[in-house]
Every structure is written in C-alpha cells, then in structure tokens.
Amino acid sequence: MAPRLKTAKTGARNKPLNEYVRKRDFTRTPEPAPKPASHAAGAFAVQKHAARRLHYDLRLELDGVLKSWAVTRGPSLTVGEKRLAVRTEDHPVEYLDFEGNIPKGEYGGGR
C-alpha cells in the first residue's frame, strides 16, 4: 500500500511556517499566529514595513501560505524599472490583513 500523503488537515500546512513561528513570541507581538487553512487562493498584498529600515513586503499566496519578499527600495511606478526583492520566511495567510506595530526588539520590529 502506498503511503498516505499529508493534507492541510493533518498539519502539512504549518510546516512551511516553522521559521515564521520560531522567530516570534506571540505573547509580545500583535502579528497573527498561523491558523487552519481558510483563505482565497491567489491572494496577494504589498505592505509598508517600517522596520529598522523602511521597505515594502510583497506577499503572494501559494499552497496555503504567503510566500514573502522584502522589496528594499519599494515598488516602482515606472514600467521596466527593476527592484531588488529579498526572499524572507513564509507567513500565514492571516498576515494579508495585518496592520499594527511590531514591538522594538521583536523580529521585524520598528525603530
């Protein structure tokens, strides 16, 4: 008999978020903790992030998590102008609606 594949209900969804969870103390930051999957496929967001250096975060939903990149100089309004996007850890889909201040000293915290 072939081995059973894990589904979102058996915990496979949270595996890509291990790094996200490891970097945060959810008793100290208002950032969302991962929850069971319930999202719209293909969702995306561009979020302004006033961390140590101001930048923008690009988040694209894929396989139940948000694949994330930090865009160091922000998005461009000029067609063809390139911007460096640095890959960061996956985030939970709940991050699409997140607005708030991450405390100084926490991962991703402000100035």
Domain positions in the chain: 44-111
The CA dihedral of 80, 85, 87, 89, to the nearest 10 degrees, is -110
pLDDT in tens, 21-73: 888 888 898 888 887 666 567 899 999 999 888 999 999 999 889 999 999 88
Q: Is 21 helix (H, G, I), strand (E, B) or coil?
A: helix
CA 27/CA 46 separation, integer angstroms: 26
* pLDDT, average across residues 82-107: 90
Buried b (16+ CB within 10 A) or exposed e, 54-83: ebbbbbebeebbbbbbbbeeeeeeeeeeee
Compute the mean pLDDT over every residue in the chain, rounded to the nearest whole number: 82
pLDDT at 18 over 70: yes
pLDDT cut 90: percent of the chain above it? 37
